[in-house]
C-alpha cells in the first residue's frame, strides 16, 4: 500500500519517501522538513495513534493523515484528537485521497506564507514607508526605546507621519493590548478642551447630563496622543504637566483625584526655542516630554 500511494503521488509530481517503522519516521523528521506525513495505524514498533503526538512535536507545521484497515469511529476520533489532519480507511478511494492531500499541502503552504509575512512585520513599523537615512535613524531610535513608559514628543513638519510613528511605538510597547487614543487639540474649542482631555462630572456645566471619563482616562494603561501643544492654552498645559508629574487629575466639576496611568506622545511641528517658551508653551512641560526626543522628518 505504501508503494502504491507513493506511485500515485509521484504522478502528481510530489516527491515522497517510504519508511518501515515509526522510529525510522522520527529519525527522518529530526533531519529533514516534510510538507505532509501519511501515517498507518498498524506499525511494527508502535501504534500509529501513539506516533501522532511525536510527529506533531518534531514537525508541528506538517499535517498528519492517518490510514488504517480497521477503521472505526473511535479510532478516527482518537486520531483527530491527537492532532491528525484527516483520517482514511483502507482500501483508499484514490480520487478522494488526492483531494485531501492537495488540501493538506495547501494548508501547509498558507501557514508558511503567514509566517513569512509575520516575520516581515516584527518591527511594528510596517506603516512607515521609506528608505531615507533620516527616517531609518528615527525608527532605530524609537525601536531601541520602545519599552520606555515615560512621556515623549516627536518633531516634524505637518504630514511627515508623527501619528504613524506614535502608533508604531504603541504597537511595540507593553501597552499594545490596549487602544491608542489620539486627540487633536487644534480641532477642539478651547472651552471644551479640558472636558475632552480630563472628562467632567454630571452637572458640571450646562449640557453635562452624564459623567464623561475623558481621553486621559480612556487611555488608562495605554498611549495617548494629544495634538500640537502650540494649540493648547497655557492653563491647560499646566494641567497636563501635573497629570504627567503626579499621575493624577481632577475632572471638570470634580472634587477627587483620579489616577492617570497613561503614556503621552506629543507631536510638534517646530523646534523648541527660547522665544516659544514665553509666547505659548511652558518650558517645564517641554522638559517633562523631552525624555525620548526624536525627529520624525522623512
Greater model confidence, 136 or 29: 29
- 133-295: same fold as 2-120? yes
Q: Has residue 156 got a pLDDT over 60?
A: yes
Q: Is 289:266 a contact under the CB 8 Å cutoff?
A: yes
Q: Has residue 96 got a pLDDT over 80?
A: yes
248-249 and 258-259 as β-strands: parallel, antiparallel, unpaired?
A: antiparallel
Q: Has residue 222 got a pLDDT over 50?
A: no
Proportion of the chain above pLDDT 70, given as a percent: 79
- How far apart are alpha carbons 191 and 78 in whole angstroms? 67
pTM greater than 0.75 (yes/no): no
Using alpha carbons, select from 242, 227, 241, 233 the residue that is nearest to residue 280. 233
pLDDT for position 290: 66
What's the whole-number average pLDDT of the chain?
A: 78
Q: In 10 A of CB 196, how many CB atoms?
A: 20
pLDDT for position 124: 54
Q: What is the DSSP string of the chain?
A: -HHHHHHHHHHTT------SSHHHHHHHHHH---S-EEEESB-SSSBHHHHHHHHHHH-TTS-EEEEESS--HHHHHHHHHTT-SEEEESSP-HHHHHHHHHHHHHHHHHHHHHHHHHHHTTTS-TT-----HHHHHHHHHHHHTTT--S-EEEE--TTS-HHHHHHHHHHHSTTTTSPEEEE-GGGS-HHHHHHHHH-B-TTSSTT--S-B--HHHHTTTSEEEE--GGGS-HHHHHHHHHHHHHSEE--BT--S-EE---EEEEEESS---HHHHHHT--HHHHHHHGGG-EE---
Interval 3-48: pLDDT, tens: 888 998 999 889 999 999 999 999 999 989 999 999 999 999 999 9
Which CATH fold would you assign to the domain 133-295? Rossmann fold (3.40.50)
pLDDT for position 272: 54
Q: In what order do the strands lie in the sheet with 86-89?
A: 37-40, 64-68, 86-89
Proportion of the chain above pLDDT 90, given as a percent: 22
pLDDT for position 218: 66
b/e burial code for range 155-174 (CB count within 10 A of at least 16 → b)? bbeeebbbbebbbbbbbbbe
Q: Is 212:195 a contact under the CB 8 Å cutoff?
A: yes
pLDDT for position 284: 75
- HSE (side-chain half, CA atoms, 13 Å) at 221: 5
Which CATH fold would you assign to the domain 2-120? Rossmann fold (3.40.50)
Q: How confident is the model at residue 1 (pLDDT cuts 50, 70, 90)?
A: confident
Domain boundaries, given as residue ranges, for the chain: 2-120, 133-295
- How far apart are alpha carbons 50 and 80 in whole angstroms? 12
Interval 234-290: pLDDT, tens: 777 788 788 777 778 888 888 788 877 777 777 776 655 544 444 567 777 777 776
Q: In 10 A of CB 22, how many CB atoms?
A: 21
pLDDT for position 240: 79
pLDDT for position 182: 78
The radius of gyration of the chain's CA atoms, rounded to the nearest angstrom, is 30
- How far apart are alpha carbons 87 and 30 in whole angstroms? 24
Greater model confidence, 136 or 199: 199
Greater model confidence, 295 or 140: 140
Interval 58-92: pLDDT, tens: 999 899 999 988 777 888 889 999 999 999 888 88
Amino acid at each position: 500500500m505504501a508503494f502504491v500511494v507513493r506511485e500515485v503521488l509521484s504522478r502528481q509530481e510530489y516527491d515522497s519517501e517510504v519508511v518501515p517503522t515509526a522510529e525510522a519516521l522520527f529519525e527522518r523528521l529530526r533531519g529533514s522538513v516534510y510538507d505532509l506525513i501519511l501515517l498507518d495505524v498498524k506499525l511494527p514498533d508502535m501504534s500509529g495513534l501513539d506516533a501522532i503526538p511525536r510527529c506533531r512535536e518534531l514537525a508541528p507545521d506538517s499535517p498528519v493523515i492517518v490510514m488504517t484497515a480497521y477503521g472505526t469511529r473511535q479510532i478516527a476520533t482518537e486520531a483527530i484528537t491527537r492532532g491528525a489532519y484527516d483520517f482514511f480507511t483502507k482500501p483508499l478511494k484514490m480520487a478522494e485521497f488526492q483531494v485531501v492531500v492537495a488540501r493538506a499541502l495547501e494548508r501547509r503552504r498558507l501557514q508558511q506564507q503567514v509566517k513569512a509575512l509575520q516575520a516581515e512585520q516584527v518591527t511594528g513599523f510596517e506603516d512607515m514607508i521609506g528608505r531615507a537615512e533620516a527616517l531609518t535613524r528615527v525608527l532605530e531610535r524609537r525601536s531601541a526605546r520602545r519599552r520606555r513608559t515615560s512621556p515623549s514628543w516627536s518633531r516634524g513638519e505637518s504630514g511627515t507621519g508623527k501619528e504613524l510613528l506614535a502608533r508604531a511605538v504603541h504597537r511595540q510597547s507593553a501597552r499594545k493590548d490596549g487602544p491608542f487614543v489620539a486627540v487633536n487639540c487644534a480641532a477642539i474649542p478651547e472651552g471644551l478642551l479640558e472636558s475632552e482631555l480630563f472628562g467632567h462630572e454630571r452637572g458640571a456645566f450646562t449640557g453635562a447630563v452624564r459623567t464623561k471619563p475623558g481621553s486621559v482616562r480612556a487611555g488608562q494603561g495605554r498611549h495617548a496622543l494629544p495634538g500640537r501643544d502650540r494649540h493648547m492654552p497655557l492653563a491647560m498645559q499646566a494641567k497636563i504637566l501635573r497629570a504627567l508629574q503626579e499621575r493624577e487629575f481632577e475632572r471638570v466639576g470634580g472634587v477627587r483625584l483620579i489616577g492617570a496611568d497613561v503614556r503621552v506622545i506629543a507631536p510638534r511641528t517646530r523646534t523648541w526655542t527660547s522665544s516659544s517658551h514665553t509666547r505659548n508653551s511652558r518650558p517645564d512641560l517641554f522638559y517633562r516630554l523631552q525624555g525620548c526626543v526624536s525627529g520624525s522628518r522623512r
